Structure formats: structure tokens, C-alpha cells
């Protein structure tokens, strides 16, 4: 008898959360359950090659739907859980960020600033005019100013007339999000929430101390490299670089004149990010095509190809860190995660190229025993999506209990699960799309 995975706070199995990571290289489904010690037990994992996604964006709906179904079927068999609803990651080169400030004059000046004042100020940011097809995903407050007194982290309870704030605003293409949701629903699943993948990964691999001290998370995926910079426990800067592990595989394929599948295998098994750490006499033999002579490639040449492209990616990362204005404030340095973090000598190359203390981010801090090894940088986003699902459940419980909500009284962002026009439009228009019938999606 299988158990239905539910994210409904009133459901019988509210402690089972399913994360769906739709990546460029793989689609991963993780079924998680929180134990009595607060740790996450991964009950089952399903994986499938992601043939219909390019650089984080769906390019072929039918291929993506088939891959999601395959990953879900595998996860259901391993976990003995019937999956109905999922928390889905959203990423891709269409994700952008900008800085903006806003203010409002309070009407009830005889009362201290309350959560409703903060909510009203944030809501006004969602009304900013964006480019056609672009909508605001997230409005993240940085710091507040009350009657010209700046640097306030939590304005609730303060006295004042004019409430101002600086915001980090994240935007995305509505069409890209619609395609993700369409694929998930065609696979027979309900989307509980769409979560920005860099935020999900940060939940899985960063500690609260690192976020407070200042840290740059660099998530190197197959199609993109996502960056999220934290300082004083607040996300300060996000960026997407449209290069990832797949361009390295392509470089190996072209540089060594071999098939793409052999290039990927070589990268995973023998790849290194530093050429000088490899010997000339270490040779990899690739089978020849149709009876041809096998090809011999030295691990040093392989590492030289990988290092050249990875340096290029890391130089773009360094530019984004400098562009954020927090370059000198990142005491905790850099945390590298994602599939690209699995390359040998990756830590050394990052430190050499960017000049900051670096560690590889593993999502094992929040994990209890699992059915298989998911404590790998490859699954950081998937584990983060499960953790984000539990955070939403906790917020839901707090919101449904007025006494707990009053006791908490530390909400410095929006008190509701509201993300403005982007998510409102997405969830309202999806039904209309299916009523009108599916159109053939073409690349």
C-alpha cells in the first residue's frame, strides 16, 4: 500500500515533501520526510536525462514531460509513495535582478509600524512596470529607513510616519514559467510552489553563520551557473551566467574529436580543473568508431581543456561578485555546489582564479540517513526544494495560529505567501491554456 505525498497542512501525511529539479542535464525527483530530530530523510530519488531543457529553459515540452514521468515513476517505486504534488525549481538565463527603493506615508501614525505596513510597501513594488513578457518573481527587502533613520533590519514596533526600504527585485520571463508548469501538469502532477533554484540550493548548503558573515553561492549546473550573494543573513545579489558543465563537455568533444557521450564520461571519471595536477603519462583510451583504432588522450590534455573553460566561467563569477558591491564583505568566501563542483581540484581553481576562500557545498547538514547517497553537490537544489517545502509548511502553521504569529513578530518580509503578478498570472492562466487545448511546442 503506497502513501500519498501531500503538502497540505491539513492532510494526513503532511510531513512528506517532493522536490522536482528540472535541470539542463538531469531531472531529479526527491521524496523527503522530516524525522523527530528535524533532519530530512530522503525516502526515494528518481532521475532521468533532461533532453528537452536548454540552459534551464524548456525547449521541448513533450520530451520534458516524458523525462518528468520517468523520474517520478522511479522515485515512487523506491519510496513507496504516490506522488501527486511537487515543489518545482525555476532557473534559467531569463532570471534577472535589479535594485529599487520604495516608500510610503503611514496613515495610522498614532500606532507603531505593523506587519500590514511592511506588506503594503512590498505590494507596491510588485506594481513596477517591467519589459513586455517580464514579471516580478520576488521582492526581497534589504534594509528599512524610518523618518530618515536608516539601517533598520526590522521596522515592526518602531514609531514613525515615513517608511522606506531598499529592495532586491528578481524578475523572470512569464513564458518560461508557464512552460515549466505546463510540463509538470501534463505529467499528472500539481505544482505547489515554484522556487528560485539558487535560493533552494542555498537553503541546502549554506549555514546561517555563512549567510551572516557574507558568502557567495556558486551553483554550477549543466546549462547555467547561478550566483546568490548573502550578507547579514539577507540575499543581496543574484545572477545567472549562461554557461555550465555542458559547454565543457562540448569543448572536450571538439578538442579531442570524440563522441559527446565519451566526452561526458571522461569529464566525470577523469576530469580535473587543474592541468598541472595531472601527469603526461596518464592516458585514457577511447574505443574507435566502427573498427577504427582506439584514441588515446592524456589526462593532462583533458584537464587543460576543462581548466580553460572553467576559468572563463569563474572570471564571469568574479565579475558578478565585484558588480554586487559586496566583494570586500564576503568573510565566508565562496561555496561551490552543483554538478560542476564535483570536478577534482575545483576548490583550488576557484581560489586561484577569484582569490577567495572556497569550500565545496554538500547538502548533508540537513540530511538523516537516506535510501541512496544524495549528499552530493549534484542534489543540492533537489534537497533545497524539499527544505523549502518544509519552511512553507511552518509558515502556514504560524499563519493559521494567531497566537504564534503574534509571538513571532519578526517578519521583515511579506507575511503572506505572495509573489505578486508573476505567480498570480501564472496560476490563473494555466487553466485557460489547457481549456483551449495544447498547441504543438516547437523549438
What confidence tens digit (pLDDT) does each residue in 189-228 have?
A: 999 988 889 999 999 999 999 999 999 999 999 989 999 9
Confidence label for 40 from pLDDT (cuts 50, 70 and 90) = confident
pLDDT at 369 over 80: no
Least confident of 206-220, 292-306, 381-395, 407-421: 407-421
Q: What is the pLDDT of residues 309-368, one digit of tens each?
A: 999 999 999 999 999 999 999 999 999 999 999 999 999 999 999 999 999 999 988 888
- Among 18-22, 27-31, 110-114, 438-442, which is the least confidently predicted range? 438-442
Q: CA–CA distance from 66 to each of 23, 61, 84, 402, 441 (Å)?
A: 14, 9, 16, 44, 14
State residue 52's pLDDT score: 87
Look-up: residue for cell 508548469? Answer: 181
Average pLDDT for 219-243: 92
| Helices and strands in the chain: count of H runs, count of E runs | 12, 20
Name the H helices within 32-173: 61-79, 115-125
CA proximity to 423, closest of 187, 98, 195, 122: 195
DSSP alpha helix (H) spans, 325-374: 346-354
Contact criterion met (CB below 8 Å) for 86 and 184: yes
Q: What is the mean pLDDT of the chain?
A: 85
Query: Rounded CA gap, 32 and 46, in Å?
Result: 12
How many whole angstroms separate alpha carbon 140 and alpha carbon 143?
A: 10
* CATH superfamily name and code, 245-309: ATPase, nucleotide binding domain (3.30.420.40)
Lowest mean pLDDT across 37-41, 308-312, 313-317, 384-388: 37-41
Q: Which of 308, 235, 239 is nearest to 271 (CA)?
A: 308
Give percent of the chain with pLDDT exceeding 70: 85
Say which range, 106-110, 238-242, 333-337, 404-408, has the weakest mean pLDDT. Answer: 404-408
Query: 432 vs 57, which has greater pLDDT?
Result: 57
Q: Which residues of 394-424 are buried (b: 16+ CB within 10 A; e: fewer)?
A: ebbebbeeeeebeeeeebbebbeeebbebbe
Place of cell 595531472: 278
Reading phi first (left if > 0) and then psi (alpha if -120 to 50, else beta), residue 420 is in left
Q: Does position 437 have pLDDT exceeding 50, yes or no?
A: no
Q: Is the pLDDT of residue 420 over 70?
A: no
90, 177 contact by CB (below 8 A): yes
Q: Which residues are bridge partners to 231 per DSSP?
A: 234
Average pLDDT over residues 424-434: 51
Reported confidence tier of residue 177, pLDDT bands at 50, 70, 90: confident
Name the helix (H) or strand (E) containing 303: helix 299-324
Of 30, 51, 29, the C-alpha closest to 42 is 30
pLDDT (average), residues 401-430? 54
pLDDT at 11 over 90: no
Instruction: Say yes or no to pLDDT of 35 above 70.
Output: yes
Distance CA 218, CA 380 (A): 11
Q: For residue 17, what are the CA distances in angstroms to 44, 47, 166, 190, 401?
A: 11, 17, 33, 12, 22
Bridge partner residues of 166 (DSSP): 101, 143
Q: Could you give the CA distance from residue 164 to residue 198 in angstroms, rounded to a whole number?
A: 27
Three cell numbers, residue 296: 588515446
- The pLDDT value recorded for residue 7 is 43
**pLDDT at residue 111 tops 80:** yes
> Does residue 429 have a pLDDT over 80?
no
- State yes or no: pLDDT of 179 exceeds 70: yes
Q: What is the pLDDT of residues 126-169, one digit of tens each?
A: 989 888 888 888 888 989 999 989 989 899 999 999 999 999 99
- Lowest-confidence segment of 36-50, 157-171, 282-296, 426-440 by average pLDDT: 426-440
**Domain spans of the chain, in order of start:** 245-309
- How many CB atoms lie under 10 A from the CB of residue 293? 8
Tens digit of each residue's pLDDT (9 = 90 or more) over 246-298: 999 999 999 998 999 999 999 999 999 999 988 888 899 988 887 788 889 99
Residue 110 DSSP label: T
Please count the other Cβ atoms lying within 10 Å of the Cβ belonging to residue 149.
12
Whole-prediction pTM: 0.84
Amino acid at each position: 500500500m503506497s502513501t500519498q505525498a501531500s503538502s497540505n497542512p491539513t492532510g494526513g501525511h503532511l510531513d512528506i515533501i517532493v522536490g522536482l529539479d528540472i535541470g539542463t542535464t538531469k531531472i531529479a525527483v526527491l521524496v523527503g520526510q522530516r524525522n523527530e530530530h528535524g533532519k530530512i530523510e530522503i525516502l526515494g530519488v528518481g532521475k532521468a536525462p533532461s533532453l528537452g531543457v536548454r540552459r534551464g529553459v524548456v525547449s521541448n515540452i513533450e520530451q520534458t514531460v516524458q523525462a518528468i514521468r520517468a523520474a517520478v515513476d522511479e522515485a515512487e517505486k523506491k519510496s513507496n509513495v504516490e506522488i501527486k504534488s511537487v515543489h518545482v525549481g525555476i532557473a534559467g538565463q531569463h532570471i534577472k535582478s535589479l535594485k529599487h527603493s520604495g516608500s510610503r506615508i503611514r496613515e495610522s501614525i498614532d500606532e507603531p509600524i505593523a506587519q500590514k505596513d511592511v506588506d503594503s510597501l512590498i505590494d507596491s513594488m510588485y506594481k513596477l512596470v517591467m519589459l513586455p513578457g517580464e514579471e516580478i518573481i520576488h521582492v526581497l527587502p534589504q534594509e528599512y529607513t524610518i523618518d530618515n533613520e536608516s539601517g533598520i533590519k526590522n521596522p515592526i514596533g518602531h514609531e514613525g510616519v515615513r517608511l522606506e526600504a531598499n529592495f532586491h527585485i528578481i524578475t523572470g520571463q512569464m513564458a518560461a514559467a508557464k512552460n515549466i508548469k505546463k510540463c509538470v501538469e501534463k505529467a499528472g502532477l500539481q505544482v505547489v510552489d515554484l522556487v528560485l533554484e539558487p535560493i533552494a540550493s542555498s537553503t541546502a548548503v549554506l549555514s546561517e553563520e555563512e549567510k551572516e558573515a557574507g558568502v557567495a553561492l556558486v551553483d554550477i549546473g549543466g546549462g547555467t551557473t547561478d550566483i546568490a550573494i548573502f550578507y547579514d543573513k539577507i540575499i543581496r545579489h543574484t545572477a545567472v551566467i549562461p554557461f555550465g558543465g555542458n559547454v565543457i563537455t562540448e569543448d572536450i568533444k571538439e578538442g579531442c574529436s570524440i563522441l559527446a557521450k565519451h566526452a561526458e564520461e571522461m569529464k566525470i571519471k577523469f576530469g580535473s580543473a587543474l592541468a598541472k595536477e595531472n601527469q603526461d603519462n596518464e592516458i585514457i583510451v577511447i574505443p574507435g568508431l566502427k573498427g577504427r583504432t582506439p584514441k588515446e588522450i592524456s589526462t593532462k590534455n583533458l584537464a587543460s581543456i576543462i581548466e580553460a573553460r572553467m576559468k572563463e566561467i569563474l572570471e564571469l563569477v568574479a565579475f558578478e561578485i565585484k558588480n554586487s558591491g559586496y566583494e570586500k564583505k564576503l568573510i565566508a568566501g565562496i561555496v561551490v555546489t552543483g554538478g560542476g563542483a564535483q570536478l577534482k581540484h575545483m576548490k583550488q581553481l576557484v581560489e586561484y582564479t577569484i582569490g577567495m576562500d572556497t569550500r565545496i557545498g554538500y547538502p548533508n547538514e540537513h540530511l538523516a540517513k537516506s535510501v541512496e547517497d544524495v549528499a552530493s553537490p549534484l542534489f543540492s537544489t533537489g534537497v533545497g526544494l524539499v527544505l523549502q517545502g518544509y519552511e512553507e509548511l511552518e509558515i502556514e502553521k504560524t499563519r493559521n495560529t494567531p497566537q504564534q504569529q503574534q509571538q513571532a513578530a519578526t517578519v521583515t518580509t511579506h507575511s503572506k505567501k505572495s509573489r505578486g503578478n508573476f505567480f498570480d498570472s501564472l496560476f490563473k492562466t494555466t487553466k485557460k491554456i489547457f481549456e483551449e487545448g495544447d498547441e504543438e511546442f516547437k523549438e
